[in-house]
Amino acid sequence: MDQVFNELSLSASLPDDHAAQAALLELKKASDKLKALGFSPQIRVTEDFAVRHVTPGCTIHEYLRRPAGGIEKTLCQLLLKRFSDAPYVEQLCTDAGMTILEEYVIDEEPCKGLALASLWDIPALSLAGDARFVPPYVTLTRNSLNEAASAVSEEECQVGLICGEEDIPHHEESIKARFYEPTNTGKELLEYAHRRLTHLLFSTVAEDQLRDMPQGHVLLPRIRKILEELQRAMREAVETRNFCPKGFKYTPAEGDSATQGKKGQKHTFTFNATGRQGGSLTVDLLCESHMRITGGDRVYFYADTGKETVYVGHIGKHLPGKKYG
């Protein structure tokens, strides 16, 4: 997997060439560390990367290609090799499932590098100096247009930031999990969930839906993040008795008409559970809670804090209801 650069951090916020050299050197050291953890040496950038300013009046392209000697020359040559051209971040976002109806923004400014980092579920490299981007995390807003309802929905999401080596420990555990417990297919994600997400129980329908997702399916990273959030929320609820997952447009319950669906399809799924005496039993549960994968896709579930279990019933297209019948 390639590394990703936050292009908005090239905002001419560094005062001079000396500060730029120091910040770029820290960025290079962080990139080296990410490479050691399993990333490729390539750093993906946006189409307008070269014309963004590293210092007032000086673009990153001009800075990296200007005459220099010694350590500065070596640094510039190495970064020129690492900052990759095609495919650019914009194309990679499309490949990862982002549509023209979606946009990730900070203070209403599109942030494409951070969008890709969110889609790939990895931290982004960011140049130090811009006060908006202070590690370990930054909060983005994901706007998406629902064509059917002609309405824009907003959702906050966090993305990890790395400006230097000292920022990596905040993300090292998740990076290692990403590489050493790969979930590049639905089958791998299901196996990962069975091993690590111990508060989750899947219906036969949900298991089959995951198994059918092939290598590189664009929704897998987001589904993994939703399942991990359900695990976190139930682990917290064991102590508080308050199940409250965050993000992903969590909907606790739908109206009766949405639950029944125009086509009469209920949101009820069958689970193979374990009884009090340790034996197996089959239970049917109404899974009307859901979290949004995309505009038309959901993870449907039922959370039982008494049994400390989240029953995941359906992973896929929004089930029939008022809007989706």
The string of DSSP codes covering 234-297 is HHHHHHHS-----STT-BS---HHHHH-TT----EEEEEEE-TTS-EEEEEEE--EEEEEETTE
Last residue in a domain, options 114, 142, 176 = 176
Neighbouring-strand partners of residue 274: 280
Helix, strand and coil percent figures for the chain, each rounded to 5: 40, 25, 35
Q: Which residue has the higher pLDDT, 264 or 303?
A: 303
By DSSP bridging, strand 53-55 and strand 58-59 are antiparallel
* Domain identity same for 268 and 169: no
pLDDT of the residue at 227: 95
Q: What is the mean predicted confidence (pLDDT) over 26-46? A: 96
| Containing structural domain, residue 260 | 183-317
Does the pLDDT value for residue 263 go beyond 80? Answer: no
* Domain identity same for 288 and 310: yes
Could you tell me what percent of the chain has a pLDDT over 90? 63
CA separation for the pair 94, 298 (Å, rounded): 20
Last residue in a domain, options 176, 195, 225 = 176
- Which helix (H) or strand (E) segment holds residue 196: the answer is helix 186-196
Q: Which residue has the higher pLDDT, 253 or 9?
A: 9
Least confident interval from 76-80, 156-160, 171-175, 248-252: 248-252
Last residue in a domain, options 154, 176, 198 = 176
Residue 225 in any domain: the answer is yes
* Domain identity same for 29 and 160: yes
> How is 128-188 classified by DSSP, letter by letter?
TT-TT--TTEEEEEEEEEETTTTEEEEEEEEEEEESSGGGGGGTHHHHHHHHHS---SHHH
pLDDT of the residue at 262: 47
Q: What is the largest CA-CA distance in the chain?
A: 76
Q: Quick one: pLDDT band at residue 72, thresholds 50, 70, 90?
A: confident
Structure tokens at 167: 């920022």
* Domain identity same for 52 and 87: yes
Could you tell me what percent of the chain has a pLDDT over 70? 91
Tally helices (H) and strands (E) across the chain: 10, 16
Domain tally for the chain? 2
Contacts 24+ apart (CB under 8 A), 296-302: 296/324, 297/219, 299/223, 299/226, 299/227, 299/230, 300/267, 300/269, 301/230
pLDDT of the residue at 121: 87
Highest mean pLDDT among 56-70, 120-134, 175-189: 120-134
Instruction: Supply the mean pLDDT for the chain.
Output: 88
User: 303: closest CA among 295, 294, 312?
Assistant: 312
Does the pLDDT value for residue 179 go beyond 90? Answer: no
CB 291 within 8 A of CB 299: yes
User: 190: closest CA among 173, 203, 174?
Assistant: 203
pLDDT of the residue at 303: 96
* Domain identity same for 93 and 134: yes
CB neighbour class for 12 (10 Å; exposed up to 12, middle 13-18, buried from 19)? middle
Residue 325 in any domain: the answer is no
Q: Quick one: pLDDT band at residue 71, thresholds 50, 70, 90?
A: confident
How many CA atoms lie within 13 Å of 60's alpha carbon, on the beta-carbon side? 25
- Which helix (H) or strand (E) segment holds residue 12: the answer is none
Residue 47 in any domain: the answer is yes
Q: Quick one: pLDDT band at residue 325, thresholds 50, 70, 90?
A: very low
Does the pLDDT value for residue 324 go beyond 50? Answer: no
Q: Which residue has the higher pLDDT, 266 or 91?
A: 91
* Domain identity same for 189 and 123: no
Q: What is the mean predicted confidence (pLDDT) over 91-104? A: 87
pLDDT of the residue at 73: 86
3-state secondary structure 212-223: CCCCCCCCHHHH
Sheet holding 109-110, edge to edge: 109-110, 102-106, 137-146, 151-162, 124-125
Structure tokens at 132: 């908006």
* Domain identity same for 199 and 132: no
pLDDT of the residue at 55: 96
